[in-house]
Amino acid sequence: MPVITFANTKGGAGKTTAVLLLATELARLGFRVSVLDADPQHWITRWYETSQSALGKLTVVPYVTMNSIDRQLTEEKTRADFVLIDLPGSRSSLLAKAVGHADYVLIPVQGSAMDAQGGANVIELLQYLEDKADIRIRHSVVLTRVNSMVTTRAMNAVKDLLAARRVHLLETPIIERSAFRDMFGCGGTLYSMDARRVSNLDKAQENARALALEVLQQIPAARHAGIPGLRNVA
């Protein structure tokens, strides 16, 4: 079943946040989701330990390393509709392996030049796999921590750069929302939070849903493999 790897060699680009949003949203849509946690900060594993009871369809596999990833991926692929991989924010052989296993690579990029460079490193790796090994892996950039009110000059520069290099950009950006931070602090999902305490929770839910639907459209294996539940989300 499709493997989605989240990668940017720059730390703090928003990978783990994007993984959690997509994982919880896909599980909410009825898919069985496994997250392989290879981020040394183990945010998703910690989140899972406090949230487990609320989630029937989501599994998190902790302590994923270069030596264990092949076995863990094989196991999770047999039981999940989607396997998501959260990586460290650095160049590593683990990154190359996790990208090589992917059906789709999502590259979270904040609207800053440094982040765009971290994303460019991943795109170079994908290009290398295509040139040297004829392995073509579909991939998109998703803009993260986007200010809901302002379009910054830095953000436009990143968009222009991507367009010039013909890199696919998801139409749905991940907006800067306190709800997306609070999920890690409080556990649970955007749907178990109290709307009276979390500002713009409805907008955060809408954002996560739009992201999940757009990602599903990008994955040919998801569209054609007859994954149960996909018919209901178009």
CB of 231 to ligand ATP, least distance (A): 30
Structure tokens at 145: 């921590």
Q: What is the 3-state secondary structure (H, E, C) of the chain?
A: CCEEEECCCCCCCCHHHHHHHHHHHHHHCCCCEEEEECCCCCHHHHHHHHHHHHCCCEEEECCCCCCCHHHHHHHHHHHCCEEEEECCCCCCHHHHHHHHCCCEEEEEEECCHHHHHHHHHHHHHHHHHHHHHCCCCEEEEEEECECCCCCCHHHHHHHHHHHHCCCCECCCCCECCHHHHHHHHHCCCCCCCCCCCCCCHHHHHHHHHHHHHHHHHHCHHHHHCCCCCHHHHC
Nearer to ligand ATP, 25 or 39 (CB): 39
Residue 172 binding target from Mg ion, ligand ATP, none, CB below 5 to 8 Å by type: none
If one asks whether residue 81 binds Mg ion (CB under 5 A), the answer comes out as no
Q: Are strands 104-110 and 138-144 parallel, antiparallel or unpaired?
A: parallel
CA-wise closest residue to 68 among 32, 101, 41: 101
Residue 180 binding target from ligand ATP, Mg ion, none, CB below 5 to 8 Å by type: ligand ATP
Residue 174 binding target from ligand ATP, Mg ion, none, CB below 5 to 8 Å by type: ligand ATP
CB of 234 to ligand ATP, least distance (A): 26
Residue 14 binding target from ligand ATP, Mg ion, none, CB below 5 to 8 Å by type: ligand ATP
If one asks whether residue 16 binds Mg ion (CB under 5 A), the answer comes out as yes
Nearer to ligand ATP, 39 or 76 (CB): 39
Among the listed ranges 38-46, 68-76, 117-125, 207-215, the one in contact with Mg ion (CB under 5 A) is: 38-46
Contacting residues for 205 by C-beta, under 8 A, at least 6 apart: 190, 191
If one asks whether residue 37 binds Mg ion (CB under 5 A), the answer comes out as no
Residue 199 binding target from ligand ATP, Mg ion, none, CB below 5 to 8 Å by type: none
Nearer to ligand ATP, 18 or 222 (CB): 18
Contact set with ligand ATP (CB under 6 A): 11-17, 39, 41, 89, 144-145, 174, 176-177, 180-181
Nearer to Mg ion, 5 or 16 (CB): 16
Chain position whose Cβ is nearest to Mg ion: 16
Nearer to ligand ATP, 32 or 145 (CB): 145
Binding residues (CB under 5 A) for Mg ion: these are 15-16, 39
